[in-house]
Amino acid sequence: MILSAIRAALRRHLAGFEGAAVLVTHDPLDAMVLADRIVVVEGGRLVQEGTPAEVARRPRTDYVARLVGLNLYRGRARGGTVALADGSATLDTVDLLEGEVFLAFAPASVALYRRRPDGSPRNLWRARVAAVERHGDRVRVQLSAPPFPAVADVTPAAVAELQLSEGSTIWAAVKATDTHVYPA
């Protein structure tokens, strides 16, 4: 509550300021709320810059993807299929691109199941639960490879119903319509 009030006051102050201001922060929410432009430095080098919306929509590194809350993979697209760069899997998408791409999806787009589900998700894989952690009003479930690592956000009720715990094996699914593919 206090931080949001400070953030709002700083935003008002910056909006009324005529000159340029440089804000250095390690808090991604501060950067997204306060900045007109973001410059992301990782390992001492600039890895991405743009408006908050551009950075959030099209992260270029795993670090930036984690900051904006997305699962991110690099791969090669051919039509509506992306073969991940590490060769671990192929994912279907509705974006029709060719060549080197990034594929992203939100943790909330990952559905988890105890048994192999019937239905329409075109991207379906077995995964092992690496961690289960509270994340605001949701629970963040870290899935380890094989075939590839991912993060899912579920409700506390889903954790109980699925009996999720570190080391358990589950099915994960992402609809092709929930993926976003863009040039690398």
Going from the N-terminus, what domains does the chain have, and what CATH number goes with each? 1-68 (no CATH), 107-174 (2.40.50.100)
CB atoms within 10 A of CB 20: 6
| Per-residue pLDDT at 1 | 60
Is residue 38 classed as helix, strand or coil in its secondary structure? Answer: strand
| Per-residue pLDDT at 128 | 96
| Per-residue pLDDT at 174 | 95
Q: Which helix (H) or strand (E) holds 72?
A: strand 71-84
Q: State phi, psi for 24 to the nearest 5 degrees.
A: -105, 125
| Per-residue pLDDT at 2 | 67
Stretches in the chain below the pLDDT threshold 50: none
| Per-residue pLDDT at 14 | 72
Q: Which of 106, 99, 104 is nearest to 184 (CA)?
A: 99
| Per-residue pLDDT at 146 | 82
| Per-residue pLDDT at 54 | 92
Q: Is the pTM of this model over 0.85?
A: no
